[in-house]
C-alpha cells in the first residue's frame, strides 16, 4: 500500500514538551491539541498534574502526530489519561514485534486506530468502513445514500475523531480512510462503489446550465468524488454512463478554465480504456469523443501539436461512427488546428463540413461553433464583411440558446474584427460587453484573452498606460492558466508597446519569449506577428538589414493572416525599409523553423554593433 512511506505527519510541526513540568506541557502545541480534542469528547475534563504527565507521554510516543493525538484524546470519554498512555504503550510494543520495518510513530497510530475501532458500535463500524469510499469531503445526504449512514452515526464518528466536520460537510483523514477500507469485504466495497458512482455522476449530469456560477460551485465542491466516480465507471466499462457524463465534464473544465486538469483526466481515461483490453472492444464513439474533447482543451492552451495528434487518431474512428454530430465535432476541431497552422483555406473547408454535419444532426451548439469559426477563417483571409456576417449569425444562435459563454466568445471575435478593420470604437464596445460576461461567469480564459486584445487596442488608440495595465493583467492570468499560446499573444502586445515607448531591451525580452512560445505551440500566424514586431525593433536598434529580412519573410508567407500582413506592410512604410530583390531572395530561402532558430541562437543581428 506504500502507506507508511507516503504520509509525512511532520508537516504540521506540532511541538512536544521537552520537560515534564505542567507549565511547559501546556505551551506545547501537541498537548494543546490533545486537550482541545479531549474537551470535545468530555466537556467536564480538567487535567490534573498526573493527567498532564500522561498526556505528555502520549504526545511523545506519537511524536507530535496530529492524527494520532486526536484519536488518542478521544479515548478520554472511556479511559483515564494514564490508561490511554498504557493502552498506547502496550499496543506499540506489540506492533514492534510484528512490523519491525515500520517507524514507531506509524506503528502507534495503527494501534490508535485499532483501539478506536474496537470502541465503535457495530453500526458505527459499518458506517465508518463504507464512508472510506469518499474522496475529499461529502454531505450527510451523500453519506446516507452511498454509505447508508445516518446523521446520528456521522456525529458519533465526529465525536470519536474518526470524521471531521466543517459547516455542513464531513471528511475523513486520508490515513484513516485506508485503515477503514481494509474493514470492508470485497462485496461491500463493490456495492458501495457502485452507489458512489451512481450518486455523483447523477449529480454531475443534473446540472443543466453549467455556465452558471452556482452550478459550477456544486460540481467544484464534489469534484474529487465526481472524478473518482468517473474513474471507477471507466474501470467497470460502463460505457453508456461514461458517454453521458463526458460532455458535462468537458464543459465544466472548459468553463472553469481548468484545461490542464481536464486534459490529464481524459488522457488517463483513454490509457485505462485501451490498455486493459483490446482497443477494438471499446466503442469507437467513446474513444473518439474523449479524444476530440481532450483536443479541444489542448487547443485552448496552445498545445496544438498534441491536439492535432489526438484528432488524427479520432479521425480513424469516424468510419465506425454513424452519428453526424461526432463527425461535426472532430472536423470542427481539425479546422482549428489547420487555422493555427496557417492553412486558412483548408480550415474554411473543414469548418463548412462541420457546419453542414451539425445542421444534419440538429446540433445547435455545433452549428454556432462552426459558424463562429467560419468567421475567424474569413477574417484571416481579409474577407472582413463575410466574417462579420458569420459572427453575427453565431451570436444570434448562441443567444437563442441562452448560451452566454458562446455569445461572449463570438462577441469577442467581433471586437477583434473591429480592431482589424480600424473600427476602434466598435471593437472597444464589443470588448467591454464580452469582458463583462466573462467576469460574471468567472471564465478566466475568456477574460484574459479579452484583456490582452483590449490592451492591444488601447495601444492603437494612444492610451499606453491602459494598454500596459491590461496586457500585464492578461499575461499574468494566461501564465496562471498555463496557456503558452495565450501568453505569447500577450507578450507580442507587450513587446510592441515597449518598442513604442523606446524600451528596447525590455521589448527584446518580451518578443524572444513570445516567439519561443508561439513556435512551440505551432501557431504560425502568431510567430509571424512576433517576427513583424521584432523587425521593427531591429530597425530601431540600427539593424536595418535584419529588419528588412524579417518583414520580407512575414510578407511572403502563405500562412500569414491579412491583419498581420497589413501590420508588416504598414511597418515597412513607416520605417522606410526597402525590400530589395536580394532581401526577398534571402527570405524565400528560409523556413520558419530555421529563422526562429537563428533568432534564438543569436545568429541574426538584432542591433547595430
Q: Write the DSSP string, 195-226.
A: HHHHHHHHHHHT-S-TTSHHHHHHHHHHHHHH
Long-range contacts of 175-179 (CB under 8 A, 24+ apart): 175/3, 175/7, 175/67, 175/109, 176/67, 176/113, 176/132, 177/132, 177/134, 178/1, 178/3, 178/132, 179/110, 179/113, 179/117
Reduced to 3 states, what is the DSSP secondary structure of residue 164? strand
Residue 68 has pLDDT above 90, yes or no: no
Reading the block at residue 319, the C-alpha cell is 468510419
How many of the other CB atoms lie within 10 Å of CB of 121?
Answer: 10
As a whole number of angstroms, the distance between CA 350 and CA 578 comes to 38
Taken in order of first residue, the domains within the chain and their CATH numbers are 3-118 (no CATH), 122-184 (1.10.10), 197-221+230-421 (1.25.40.10), 511-609 (no CATH)
pLDDT in the model for residue 242: 94
Lowest mean pLDDT among 102-106, 465-469, 605-609: 102-106
As a whole number of angstroms, the distance between CA 570 and CA 333 comes to 33
Average pLDDT over residues 181-190: 94
Average pLDDT over residues 355-375: 98
Q: What is the pTM of this model?
A: 0.83
Lowest mean pLDDT among 226-235, 269-278, 595-604: 269-278
pLDDT in the model for residue 198: 97
As a whole number of angstroms, the distance between CA 158 and CA 152 comes to 10
Residue 376 has pLDDT above 80, yes or no: yes
Reading the block at residue 483, the C-alpha cell is 496557456
Average pLDDT over residues 202-229: 93
Average pLDDT over residues 430-445: 96
Measured over all CA atoms, what is the biggest interatomic distance in the chain, rounded to whole angstroms?
A: 97
Q: How confident is the model at residue 97 (pLDDT cuts 50, 70, 90)?
A: very low
As a whole number of angstroms, the distance between CA 126 and CA 106 comes to 24
Calculate the average pLDDT of the chain.
Answer: 92
pLDDT in the model for residue 485: 97
Report which secondary-structure segment, H or E, holds 29.
Answer: helix 29-41
pLDDT in the model for residue 278: 67
- What is the arrangement of strands in the sheet containing 138-139, beginning at the earlier edge strand? 138-139, 169-171, 164-166
Average pLDDT over residues 190-218: 93
In the DSSP assignment, the letter for residue 479 is H
Q: Which residue has the higher pLDDT, 2 or 463?
A: 463
Q: Which of 311, 347, 342 is nearest to 329 (CA)?
A: 311
Q: How confident is the model at residue 393 (pLDDT cuts 50, 70, 90)?
A: very high
Residue 117 has pLDDT above 60, yes or no: yes
As a whole number of angstroms, the distance between CA 595 and CA 516 comes to 12
Query: For 35-47, how does the pLDDT look when each residue is reduced to its tens digit (9 = 90+)?
Result: 999 998 898 999 9
Q: How confident is the model at residue 474 (pLDDT cuts 50, 70, 90)?
A: very high
Contacts of residue 375, defined as CB under 8 A and 6 or more positions apart, other chains included, come to 386, 387, 388, 389, 390, 391, 394, 410, 413, 417
pLDDT in the model for residue 178: 80
Q: How confident is the model at residue 337 (pLDDT cuts 50, 70, 90)?
A: very high
Average pLDDT over residues 419-445: 97
Q: How confident is the model at residue 281 (pLDDT cuts 50, 70, 90)?
A: confident
pLDDT in the model for residue 91: 56
Residue 9 has pLDDT above 60, yes or no: no
Q: How confident is the model at residue 171 (pLDDT cuts 50, 70, 90)?
A: very high
How many of the other CB atoms lie within 10 Å of CB of 132?
Answer: 20
Q: How confident is the model at residue 143 (pLDDT cuts 50, 70, 90)?
A: very high
Contacts of residue 261, defined as CB under 8 A and 6 or more positions apart, other chains included, come to 253
Residue 5 has pLDDT above 60, yes or no: no
As a whole number of angstroms, the distance between CA 497 and CA 506 comes to 10
pLDDT in the model for residue 11: 42
As a whole number of angstroms, the distance between CA 314 and CA 332 comes to 12
Q: Which of 564, 537, 542 is nearest to 553 (CA)?
A: 564
pLDDT in the model for residue 8: 34
Lowest mean pLDDT among 81-85, 105-109, 259-263: 105-109
Query: For 396-411, how does the pLDDT look when each residue is reduced to its tens digit (9 = 90+)?
Result: 999 999 999 999 999 9
Amino acid at each position: 500500500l506504500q502507506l507508511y512511506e507516503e504520509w509525512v505527519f511532520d508537516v504540521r510541526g506540532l511541538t512536544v514538551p521537552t520537560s515534564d513540568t505542567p507549565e511547559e506541557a501546556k505551551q506545547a502545541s501537541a498537548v494543546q491539541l490533545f486537550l482541545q480534542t479531549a474537551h470535545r469528547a468530555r466537556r467536564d475534563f480538567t487535567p490534573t498534574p498526573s493527567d498532564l504527565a500522561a498526556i505528555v507521554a502520549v504526545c511523545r510516543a506519537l511524536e507530535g502526530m496530529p492524527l494520532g493525538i486526536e484519536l488518542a484524546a478521544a479515548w478520554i470519554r472511556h479511559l483515564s489519561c494514564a490508561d490511554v498512555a498504557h493502552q498506547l504503550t502496550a499496543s506499540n510494543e506489540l506492533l514492534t514485534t510484528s512490523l519491525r520495518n515500520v517507524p514507531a510513530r506509524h506503528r502507534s497510530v495503527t494501534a490508535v486506530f485499532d483501539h478506536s475501532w474496537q470502541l465503535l458500535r457495530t453500526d458505527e463500524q459499518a458506517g465508518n468502513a463504507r464512508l472510506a469510499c469518499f474522496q475529499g469531503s461529502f454531505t450527510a445526504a451523500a453519506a446516507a445514500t452511498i454509505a447508508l449512514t445516518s446523521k446520528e452515526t456521522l456525529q458519533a464518528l465526529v465525536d470519536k475523531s474518526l470524521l471531521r466536520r466543517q459547516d455542513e460537510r464531513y471528511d475523513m483523514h486520508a490515513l484513516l480512510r485506508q485503515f477503514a477500507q481494509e474493514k470492508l469485504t470485497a462485496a461491500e466495497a463493490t456495492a458501495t462503489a457502485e452507489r458512489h458512482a451512481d450518486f455523483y455522476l447523477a449529480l454531475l449530469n443534473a446540472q443543466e446550465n453549467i455556465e452558471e456560477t452556482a452550478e459550477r460551485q456544486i460540481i467544484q465542491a464534489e469534484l474529487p468524488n465526481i472524478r473518482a466516480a468517473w474513474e471507477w465507471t471507466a474501470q467497470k466499462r460502463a460505457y453508456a454512463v461514461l458517454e453521458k457524463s463526458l460532455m458535462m465534464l468537458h464543459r465544466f473544465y472548459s468553463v472553469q478554465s481548468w484545461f490542464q486538469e481536464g486534459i490529464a483526466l481524459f488522457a488517463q481515461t483513454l490509457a485505462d480504456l485501451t490498455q486493459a483490453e483490446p482497443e477494438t472492444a471499446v466503442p469507437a464513439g467513446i474513444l473518439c469523443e474523449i479524444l476530440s474533447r481532450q483536443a479541444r482543451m489542448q487547443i485552448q492552451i496552445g498545445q496544438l501539436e498534441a491536439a492535432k495528434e489526438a484528432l488524427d487518431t479520432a479521425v480513424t474512428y469516424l468510419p465506425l461512427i454513424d452519428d453526424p454530430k461526432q463527425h461535426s465535432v472532430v472536423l470542427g476541431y481539425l479546422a482549428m488546428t489547420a487555422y493555427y497552422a496557417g492553412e486558412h483555406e483548408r480550415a474554411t473547408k473543414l469548418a463548412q463540413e462541420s457546419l453542414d454535419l451539425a445542421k444534419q444532426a440538429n446540433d445547435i451548439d455545433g452549428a454556432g461553433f462552426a459558424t463562429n469559426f467560419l468567421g475567424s477563417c474569413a477574417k484571416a483571409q481579409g474577407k472582413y464583411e463575410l466574417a462579420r456576417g458569420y459572427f453575427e449569425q453565431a451570436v444570434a444562435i448562441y443567444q437563442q440558446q441562452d448560451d452566454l459563454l458562446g455569445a461572449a466568445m463570438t462577441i469577442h471575435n467581433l471586437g477583434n474584427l473591429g480592431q482589424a478593420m480600424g473600427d476602434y470604437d466598435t471593437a472597444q464596445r464589443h470588448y467591454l460587453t464580452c469582458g463583462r460576461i466573462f467576469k460574471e461567469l468567472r471564465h478566466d480564459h475568456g477574460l484574459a484573452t479579452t484583456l490582452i486584445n483590449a490592451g492591444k487596442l488601447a495601444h492603437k488608440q494612444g492610451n499606453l498606460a491602459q494598454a500596459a495595465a491590461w496586457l500585464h493583467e492578461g499575461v499574468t492570468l494566461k501564465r496562471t492558466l498555463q496557456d503558452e499560446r495565450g501568453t505569447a499573444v500577450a507578450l507580442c502586445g507587450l513587446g510592441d508597446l515597449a518598442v513604442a515607448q523606446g524600451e528596447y531591451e525590455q521589448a527584446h525580452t518580451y518578443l524572444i519569449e513570445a516567439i519561443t512560445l508561439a513556435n512551440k505551440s505551432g501557431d504560425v500566424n502568431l510567430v509571424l506577428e512576433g517576427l513583424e514586431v521584432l523587425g521593427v525593433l531591429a530597425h530601431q536598434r540600427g539593424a536595418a538589414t535584419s529588419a528588412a529580412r524579417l518583414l520580407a519573410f512575414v510578407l511572403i508567407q502563405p500562412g500569414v493572416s491579412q491583419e498581420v500582413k497589413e501590420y508588416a506592410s504598414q511597418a515597412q512604410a513607416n520605417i522606410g525599409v526597402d525590400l530589395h530583390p536580394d532581401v526577398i531572395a534571402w527570405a524565400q530561402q528560409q523556413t520558419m523553423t530555421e529563422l526562429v532558430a537563428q533568432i534564438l541562437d543569436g545568429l541574426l543581428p538584432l542591433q547595430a554593433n
